[in-house]
Amino acid sequence: MVGPAAFDPGTIRRADHSAFAHEYSCWRSVRADLVSRTGVGRQETSIAADDHAVLLNMLGVAKVGEDYVDDRRVAFTQRQTGSLSFIPADHSWSGWDDGDPTAAYLFITIGKKFILDHFEHVPGTDLDRLVPALGFEDPLIQYAARSIRSEIGQRDPLSHMMVEDHARTIFGRLFRRSGQKRHYVKGGLSPAVLKRVIDRIEASLDGSLSMAELAQEAGLSEHYLSKAFRLSMGLPPHAFIIRRRLERASEMLRYSSRTITEIAYACGFSSPSHLAAAFRRVIGITPKQYRADWKT
């Protein structure tokens, strides 16, 4: 297998532009296309995925638009630099957006057979659980996607192994996220209580929220809240809070000029070294390396 099907930027993400650049590479089961444009007007999206597709917004903000998933209109969310979109095989995404005139995106396609071969017998990785998702944040998937981007143009024999490792990381994370849907399950939190709890977490990512306060917000004991939250979200409150703090920190590292020390405290970490340890454990690099990577 030389890689998934050929990619046509003029079809997938069509737009008028004053300058255009397109780099790509194909490996055995993966293809990556990096498209950069200036003078961009309205972009029209038309993706009917034969293979699994991941799009990473490398530069520019999609500010307004309309999105349709499997021919059904969905709510439009602004897509910042670093945002991700995932279209599983045999699903579609269409629509339009207007935003910054200078833009770049990375489009990664991964063969269905590759994912089936590596995940078919792994518990909790039913492909039917994977659904389209537009404009979400996940630092680990971002890093894996950017690592694939760094292999474009490489000719050494190890490149395909490294790329496929990153592809497995992306799907491992996607499968984990698929178990964290915000819907009611037996023994879990009701949608209204779950929303209230998550809103309280989002408003307190600086570390000012205790488990007792969160339980009071839900009107439950700490023990029951922890158990019910895990059933609803697929992980306990503490792990969810750490994940959201890391996601917030990654956003600030990309978009702001604040120091890493300031970001660490703003995101609820006790020190820059605490942030660095959590970042390295989850993403594999330090905050300083992550910020430098996004500046290149």
State pLDDT tens for residues 118-156.
887 777 677 777 889 999 988 889 989 999 999 998 878
Average pLDDT over residues 22-45: 90
Task: Return the minimum-mean-pLDDT range out of 140-144, 231-235, 249-253.
Answer: 231-235
Q: Which amino acid is it at 167?
A: A
Q: What are phi and psi of 155, to 5 degrees?
A: -115, 0
What's the pLDDT score for residue 275?
A: 93
Q: Is the pLDDT of residue 180 over 60?
A: no
Q: Which residue has the tokens 């597709």?
A: 53
The percentage of residues in the chain with a pLDDT greater than 70, rounded to a whole number, is 94
Q: Is the pLDDT of residue 234 over 80?
A: no
Q: Is the pLDDT of residue 255 over 50?
A: yes
Longest dimension (CA), the chain: 59
- Distance from C-alpha of 248 to C-alpha of 158, rounded to nearest angstrom: 34
Where along the chain do its domains lie?
9-178, 191-295
Task: Please identify, in words, the CATH class of the domain defined by 9-178.
Answer: mainly beta
Neighbouring residues of 76: CB distance < 8 A, sequence distance ≥ 6: 64, 65, 66, 67, 95, 97
Cβ-defined contacts of 36-39 (< 8 Å, 24+): 36/103, 36/104, 37/102, 37/103, 37/104, 38/101, 38/102, 39/101, 39/102
Q: Is the pLDDT of residue 272 over 50?
A: yes
Q: Which residue has the tokens 């492909």?
A: 127
Q: Is the pTM of this model over 0.85?
A: no
**Are the C-beta atoms of residues 103 and 59 closer than 8 Å to each other?**
yes
- Nearest to 113, CA basis, from 29, 188, 174, 14: 29
Instruction: Assign 5 a pLDDT band (cuts: 50, 70, 90).
Output: low
Q: Where are the beta strands (DSSP E) in the chain?
A: 13-14, 19-26, 30-38, 43-48, 52-59, 62-69, 72-74, 84-87, 92-99, 103-110, 133-136
- Distance from C-alpha of 217 to C-alpha of 230, rounded to nearest angstrom: 16
- Nearest to 175, CA basis, from 232, 127, 132, 247: 127
What's the pLDDT score for residue 93?
A: 94
Does this chain's domain 9-178 share its CATH topology with 191-295?
Answer: no
Q: What is the CATH number of domain 191-295?
A: 1.10.10.60
- Mean pLDDT: which of 98-102, 178-182, 187-191 is highest? 98-102
pLDDT 10s digits, 79-103: 988 899 999 999 999 999 999 999 8
